[in-house]
Structure 1
């Protein structure tokens, strides 16, 4: 996050940041919010200005240089026989630092590689090991929904996602259906978790027995989005019925909002 004064910025703007050791750039991915404490200000980087035309030219030059740096680094990795996969490279805005991003199955001793790269580039070198989700964020791409990856567009941080989320949403337990391009569970499984949590409190549970107009029936499955349940009567009949969330409950409010 970053803070600023006397600058008009909005989501999508490219800005120049004052970092701990030099200057860098970034893209604004959320609308500005008021800083509520000095602690928040201390944790954020200072935004110097919106990127000018010259700044954008510098950024593009840095990106072209980074591609050349990638090729050199890949060659050096082979020379040092390191078991690591180079993902990306980026220069800081003022070119005082190059960051190389890589993945590896285990921890890598890359101290000799860093010394070698520092001799070549004559600048500060940082090698940063990342996970598969960060790899997807850096490389970008499209999800099964056909839209650009959430992690590469607007997500600020990764939230834990468990298989329980998919089960609660009655999704097929097929890894190909519920996994993202990174191979991990899709981040979007967490987007409606709050809705499902509230609806599960407002509606009966699977296995509960209901007294309906045409007899007693046991709930076999529930679709929380439609509030419909599949039930089995004592005589073996199976039927779909509509459940009504408890009046005044949060689940009923959420369902009405979703249907509007």
Structure 2
């Protein structure tokens, strides 16, 4: 399927999603939100796709957030049920998603990155939740995910001022996993390749268990693990048998994702 504001490429088990409005710093209008909702629905449902990367077109921006010009012209702020960019309220996709932040990540763009499992950034990347400066608030998860990622005091300092944070500072604060001086997409592919060396069943079980346990004590989170669909699927999978067998035979495992 072709889209107007999003490019989708599949490289083996990897899906690469590129926000494609470089003339608007990849800010998302209503149609782009709908497209991204469909793209990530398709990724979640495709048994052949195990890992996704989301990035922005052009050298300047990952995503500048919501298209304020559209809103000012009376276009509204329609957001799909899956949230900003089809990701920020998508809580039922256990597949790993990598943010490859190649420039400005403002407002909703930063919130998309925070909704991903791994955040990689080029050295020129800049992050901010500047909504209070335009009479709004970071309603797509930023006010909740950022404190969990870096702590309440530091997060409040960023959110209440709307100030910009460099990639290096994001790495130091802890919401960025790695920074590169060059193009961030090759770095993201390397991370994706590491993920693809693992059983996709194990990755999904890990992600689902971690996220489900964030609001629980360790004891309660452990007790609930056996009820999680991804944990049950992993334990009953062919991959759970293939991993130990490959280890005993001193070879690389051949994952089936089932």
TM-score, normalised relative to structure 1: 0.23
Which one has a bigger Cα radius of gyration?
A: 1
